Amino acid sequence: MKSRFYVLLVAALGLLAIPLRAQVPCPGISIAVGTDEDKLMLAINGADKPEEQIAALDQFIKAHADSKFLPCANEYYASISLKQNNFDKAIEYGDKNLTTSPNLNLYLILMRAYVGSGKLDDAAFDVINKIPDQVKTEVVPVRPKEAKDAEWEKIQQESAELAKDSRAYAVYAFFQLLPRVTDPAKRIQTMDNFVKAYPEAEKDYAGQLYTAYFDAYWVQSNVDKSVEYGEKVVAADPNNARILNTLAFIYGFGKPQPDKASDYAQKALTAAQNLKKPDGVDDATFKKEQTNQIGMAQLTLGYEAFVKAQKTKKLQPAIDALKLAASNLDNNPALQGQALYYLAYAYELGYPANHHAALDALNKAVTLPGPFQGQAQTLQAKVKAAVK
């Protein structure tokens, strides 16, 4: 999944190389010499600074509110504002044209502004979903009569690159903007709409897309859908330790299927042990996440071994795994308390019971907030009574 993200990022940056004709507002428009529109374009093209271009546009818009050229002025305003990193202004003036003068260049300007703004605009996903049809409408190369074969081939190649890069940036923008949708139901609907517009996404961006679906359904506590999309995630991204661990927990503690729980937990353990530190993440943060994922996997493996031991009486595998889990879950008190509780229980099931080892585990477990704190206190009292 990490590699897919960087592919998207490279594609997004590659838009800088889009042919110039795709980056000029209102391409192909004719302006009569000496008109107010001509004077505006001379002022824009002759300006040394973006601020001067904006000033010329402000003056024109104020004086010519009914001009047929106003949509072009708005698009120039949005484009120049984007270059200034004035994302709010780029969106404000770009939005004015969305219903009156939509075009691919405008959509590209707006998508960049939506991503750069750090905010969520309701129109953003509509623009993203319109890109495929807009590309089909606009990016249709026409061979000039005088064009030689080499020139025509270049025109076709540039058109194909523009279409590819436009779609690639739209996908990149989608995954940048999606986390800003905080309501899980709205996020799911947003993804559904995206998949309709980009049916290839379920293949080309499977790991990233299915992870987003999984997270949204998990927030909704929709376990069945979480399992459905979690299994799709690991089919596309078999080393996703977090999703593997979550599936292991579901099959271990929620919807018990011991074999599946152990299988996913073992895969999660291997994946977590082999994690590579992502760029931009400090060592301490990475190590904390890695040990947490390792501890979660060991907890599931320990619990499944504990369940089996109640029949086989072979408790040592459970004790070993649960001790490792507890030591790796220092940053996750609730799960550490769970590991210590089952560890103490395993000590108590032995013959003879190891009360002192059980108390050592329970004395820490009762201090850890979480769903197993009360059970640990109850078991602690029973063990203390047995010791006496």
CB 90 within 8 A of CB 110: yes
Q: Is the pLDDT of residue 16 over 60?
A: no
Q: How confident is the model at residue 239 (pLDDT cuts 50, 70, 90)?
A: very high
CA separation for the pair 196, 205 (Å, rounded)? 14
Q: Is the pLDDT of residue 346 over 60?
A: yes
Q: Can you give the three-state secondary structure of 335-346, one letter per residue?
A: HHHHHHHHHHHH
Q: Is the pLDDT of residue 196 over 50?
A: yes
CA separation for the pair 343, 62 (Å, rounded)? 75
Look at the alpha carbons of 212, 213, 219, 221 in this order and tell me if their dihedral is positive or negative. Answer: negative
Q: Is the pLDDT of residue 5 over 50?
A: no
Q: Is the pLDDT of residue 334 over 60?
A: yes
How long a stretch of residues is the chain? Answer: 388
Q: How confident is the model at residue 121 (pLDDT cuts 50, 70, 90)?
A: confident
* 135 or 387: which leads in pLDDT: 135
Q: Which residue has the tokens 């010519």?
A: 64
**Joined tokens for residue 373:** 């704190």
| Phi–psi pair at 332, nearest 5 degrees | -135, 80
CB 125 within 8 A of CB 194: yes
End-to-end CA distance of the chain: give it in Å, rounded.
Answer: 56
Q: Which residue has the tokens 């190590």?
A: 287
Q: Is the pLDDT of residue 4 over 70?
A: no
* 30 or 360: which leads in pLDDT: 360
The predicted pLDDT at position 300 comes to 97
Q: What is the pLDDT of residues 200-233, one digit of tens each?
A: 999 999 999 999 999 999 999 999 999 999 999 9
Domain annotation for the chain: domains and CATH numbers: 2-180 (1.25.40), 182-237 (no CATH), 238-387 (1.25.40.10)
193: number of Cβ within 10 Å: 14
The predicted pLDDT at position 24 comes to 66
Q: Is the pLDDT of residue 324 over 60?
A: yes
**Joined tokens for residue 150:** 């080499």
Q: Is the pLDDT of residue 6 over 80?
A: no
The predicted pLDDT at position 383 comes to 94
Q: Which of 18-32, 267-281, 286-300 has the lowest mean pLDDT?
A: 18-32
Name the average pLDDT for the chain.
91
CA separation for the pair 30, 20 (Å, rounded)? 17
CA separation for the pair 1, 198 (Å, rounded)? 18
Q: What is the pLDDT of residues 139-176, one digit of tens each?
A: 888 898 898 999 999 999 999 999 999 999 999 999 99
The predicted pLDDT at position 10 comes to 38
Percent of the chain clearing pLDDT 90 (strictly above): 79
CA separation for the pair 50, 61 (Å, rounded)? 16
Closest CA to 7 of 161, 208, 213, 280: 208
Closest CA to 104 of 68, 84, 133: 133
Rounded-to-5 percentages of helix, strand, coil across the chain: 75, 0, 25
Q: What is the mean pLDDT of residues 134-143?
A: 90
Element (H, E) at 36: helix 36-46
Q: How confident is the model at residue 23 (pLDDT cuts 50, 70, 90)?
A: low
Q: What is the mean pLDDT of residues 239-252?
A: 96
Using DSSP's 3-state secondary structure scheme, residue 121 falls into coil
CB 359 within 8 A of CB 331: no
The predicted pLDDT at position 28 comes to 66
CB 92 within 8 A of CB 119: no
The predicted pLDDT at position 25 comes to 76
CA separation for the pair 306, 318 (Å, rounded)? 5
Cβ-proximal residues to 277 (8 Å cutoff; 6+ apart), any chain? 283, 286
CA separation for the pair 50, 86 (Å, rounded)? 11
pTM (2 decimals)? 0.84
**Joined tokens for residue 105:** 């260049």
Return the ∠ at Cα 346 (arms to 342 and 350), rounded to 5°: 170
CA separation for the pair 178, 232 (Å, rounded)? 19
100: number of Cβ within 10 Å: 9
Q: What is the pLDDT of residues 25-71, one digit of tens each?
A: 776 677 888 898 889 999 998 988 999 999 999 999 999 988 889 99
Q: Is residue 186 exposed (0-12), middle (13-18) or buried (19+ Cβ within 10 Å)?
A: exposed
